[in-house]
Structure 1
Amino acid sequence: MTRLRRNPRGERAAKAVAGGARIRFDLAARAEDRGRPRRDPRAESAELLIGGHARPRLDRSGAAGAAPSSVEETAPTAPKIAVVESPAFLIAVVPDALGERLSQHDRQLFGAARMLAGADGAVVALVAGEVEGLASAGADRIVAIGEPGYDPEGRAAAIAGALSSLGLRYVLFPETSDGGDVARRLAVLSGEPLFSDVEQFSATSVSRAARGRRVEQRAASKRLMTVAADAVAAYAGPEREARPEPVAPAAPIKRAILDARRITADPATTPLTVADFVVSAGNGVTDLALFRRLAEALGATPGASRMLCDAGLMPRESQVGASGSVLTATCYFALGIAGAPQHLQGVAGCEHVVAVNTDLHAAMIERAGLAIVADAQDVMQALIAALKEEGA
């Protein structure tokens, strides 16, 4: 053998401490064969002890007792931006971008486009006006196709011009009232077939339900497609360049629609399933009159938890949850709602959740992107006062 045989008795005798009635051993002594000292948890805790407190507190952040570093800390590097300088082909995305911001459905379109583009292609965002978040969504180029507002005829004509001038390989639309309208108008203008309501998406084929969802239609990817919500995951890669791409303006068209505008629906009568902003009351709301005033001041659709609906304090159609209405709102504001599993299922599709509750460990607080640990009545009064001051 190339190493000495261990002598446990000799090692133990070497650690014996003389002078005591009972045999004691120094376990912190360095072992000759291991070359490292035994850990002393008590001494380590003593080094982390913070003084000035009635109860012992330890600083485990690493700052206490840390030796000063002789190496200067380098500044964080800037995030990497992916650039496609000379793409082999272009994939276009036409998001709804209501309010000049991308919805989750719009971001899923960019995820589908990046899947089709691969490493050689580039994704072009065809948008009206200035839209936020296109670089993080996955757009390599940006092409302006008009001004914000409801103009399906003008938008379809502008996309038809870009279709030929840019040589777009695919054009993706969201399967929504606005996106589907523009996609069908473009199909008529260009003579291209439209494969609508894609529910399963891959780089080579697409499929959708047909005949009352009894059969599945599968086909190769078409040039014009509308994509259903949640068919593809949103793009989660590095930020893209989002470089503006100039194109020739579209030729004037003979419009059949002389005047079109969006009419805002009354939030108080809007169904919860199609509402964009919902504020709900739970068992922690004791002043329902104040809650209704807040919903009116915010311009939100009022909802409620099951407990309030069962008690008859709120109408049954306002119940939020798996046993009530399942929401797809952009913002959900929960006041005094603990967050039962059925209620959390009902708000799973909401993009932003704000919760107010006195319990720091409530499930709704954990689900929320913004949480306020306070009494709901105090928060409602403060919000109404702030809204009055802003409107004054």
Structure 2
Amino acid sequence: MMRLRRDPRLERSVHLLPSSGARPRYDLTQRSGRPRRDPRQEAASQAVRLAPRLRIDRTQHVFLSASAAQAAPIPESKPAVVRVEDAALRVLVITDPGKGPLTPMDRQLLASARIAAGAAGGVVLAVDREVDDAGSAGADRIVILPESAHPADRFETALALRTAIPLAHMMLPETPAGGDLGRRLAARFGWALFSGVEQIGARGLVRPVRGRKVDQEQAECPEILTLAPDMVPLRSDAPREGRIVSLDLPQAKRAVERVRPARGSLPLADSDFVVSAGNGIRDFELFRNVAAALGGTPGASRVVCDSGDMPRAAQVGASGTVLAADCYLALGIAGAPQHLQGIAGCRHVIAVNTDLHAAMVERAELAIVADAQPVMEALLRLAQEKQP
């Protein structure tokens, strides 16, 4: 391959300024015209998941120049909403049961459906609750499903939905609920199923097989596919219409008994509330009683696990368990860097430490600058008073 050879002296002479001095002067503010990359902008466009650990999809190659990014005007008005006809609808997305706004998995499903439908195609979102930002996430139509968590009820609802809106493709999450529904539908109609998709784009559909040693590719989109969590980056396309469609769907017939796990029995990675002990804890029997009374899963710092006061499975941090809990109570933990990395995905952090300038105190939303021993005794006494 013949490649042009650069002449640095010739390139530098272009910027030479006329000067009567002994030393030459160059105007280096004028760039050579070569495109310059912005690694931060590239990484932001490839981000799939932010917490608890950042995940970037490196299969999406985006090369942006700094000059082009600066020259592009920032639109002051909102982009026009894209509207499609009913005949252009192509993909039906069925989300898992939930509450509140769209989950990251729901948004990844819509992003994948937008790729499968194309610019001229439409996407129908089937969700069991009202959501406000489905149009901006890529949904052209929205169908509100009856609220039900029973697999048989969801299957009957999906059958009625498929009869009312016969689209070419159906997309579900590769989760216990979504995977079960997708396989039921594939077995009922004899449809092709491509499960556990991790990439969707120019190569078609890609999923790992044989213990992730081999990638299996499929060029055409099947009738049903399930998407693996945290694998497809979100899209920033123009907002869609997101119009709600009213359908007569069967109501739930079966009740689901929800059994709450025993307090503090969940593992660290799945727990919403973690009570963790650090080097400032002396009475570990009291610590375990406090964690049990508060209903939290006991954790510990690396120093405590190294000393044998807590099991190694309870270690929190980059070298232990990375948390994504709603609340993290740190008792006597100064806050080493690897420990702070492990709690980066926690929503709320409460710290108890004698050092006002400890890293954990700076990280916490609520801090108690005191010895952890009397604080634990007070917490245990109050928790016992609140118990019936």
TM-score norm. by structure 2 comes to 0.64
Shift of 1:262: 2.8
Partner of 2:13: none
Partner of 1:243: 243
Q: 1:390 and 1:79 mapped to 2: Cα distance?
A: 54
Correspondence 1:25-44 to 2 at 5 A:
none
Partner of 2:258: 262
Partner of 1:229: 229
SS state at 2:365 partner: strand
SS state at 1:92 partner: strand
Shift of 1:197: 0.9
* 8 Å CA contact 1:145, 1:159 repeated in 2: no
Partner of 1:43: none
Q: 2:206 aligned with 1:207, yes or no?
A: yes
Shift of 1:143: 0.9
Shift of 1:223: 2.7
Cα distance change of structure 1 residues 167 and 129 upon mapping to structure 2, 3 Å threshold: same
Q: 2:183 and 2:339 mapped to 1: Cα distance?
A: 37
Q: 2:172 aligned with 1:167, yes or no?
A: no
* 8 Å CA contact 1:80, 1:239 repeated in 2: no
Partner of 2:190: 191
Partner of 1:123: 123
Partner of 1:151: 150
Correspondence 1:18-167 to 2 at 5 A:
80=78, 83-87=81-85, 88-130=88-130, 134=134, 137-148=137-148, 150-167=149-166
* 8 Å CA contact 2:84, 2:140 repeated in 1: no
Cα distance change of structure 1 residues 202 and 275 upon mapping to structure 2, 3 Å threshold: farther
Cα distance change of structure 1 residues 190 and 387 upon mapping to structure 2, 3 Å threshold: farther
Aligned-partner residue type, residue 194 of structure 1: L
Q: Higher Cα Rg: structure 1 or 2?
A: 1
Cα distance change of structure 1 residues 80 and 347 upon mapping to structure 2, 3 Å threshold: same
Shift of 1:100: 4.6
Q: 2:381 and 2:82 mapped to 1: Cα distance?
A: 50
Cα distance change of structure 1 residues 251 and 347 upon mapping to structure 2, 3 Å threshold: closer
SS state at 2:181 partner: helix
Q: 1:385 and 1:116 mapped to 2: Cα distance?
A: 58
Q: 2:240 and 2:357 mapped to 1: Cα distance?
A: 38
Correspondence 1:267-282 to 2 at 5 A:
267-282=263-278
Partner of 2:179: 180
Shift of 1:251: 9.2
SS state at 1:168 partner: coil
Partner of 1:356: 351
Q: Which runs of 5+ in 2 are unaligned?
A: 1-18, 20-74
Identity of matched residues, %: 43
Shift of 1:166: 2.0
Aligned-partner residue type, residue 159 of structure 1: A
Q: 2:351 and 2:339 mapped to 1: Cα distance?
A: 15
Partner of 1:333: 328
SS state at 1:280 partner: strand
Shift of 1:263: 1.8
TM-score norm. by structure 1 comes to 0.63
Aligned-partner residue type, residue 320 of structure 2: G
Cα distance change of structure 1 residues 171 and 280 upon mapping to structure 2, 3 Å threshold: farther
Q: 1:372 and 1:171 mapped to 2: Cα distance?
A: 46
Aligned-partner residue type, residue 83 of structure 2: E
Cα distance change of structure 1 residues 171 and 382 upon mapping to structure 2, 3 Å threshold: farther
Give RMSD over aligned pairs: 4.3
**How many residues end up aligned between the 2 structures?**
311
Q: 1:280 and 1:237 mapped to 2: Cα distance?
A: 43
Aligned-partner residue type, residue 194 of structure 2: F
Cα distance change of structure 1 residues 169 and 386 upon mapping to structure 2, 3 Å threshold: farther
Partner of 1:308: 304
Give deviations 1:294-347, integer Å, cap 9, x for gaps: 6446543222221222233323221123432344x3525151544444335544
SS state at 1:98 partner: coil
Q: Which runs of 5+ in 1 are unaligned?
A: 1-5, 7-76
Give deviations 1:182-207, integer Å, cap 9, x for gaps: 11112122321111111222266111
Q: 2:231 and 2:311 mapped to 1: Cα distance?
A: 34
Q: 1:269 and 1:122 mapped to 2: Cα distance?
A: 45
Give deviations 1:2-46, integer Å, cap 9, x for gaps: xxxx9xxxxxxxxxxxxxxxxxxxxxxxxxxxxxxxxxxxxxxxx
Aligned-partner residue type, residue 141 of structure 2: R
Shift of 1:269: 2.3
SS state at 1:83 partner: coil
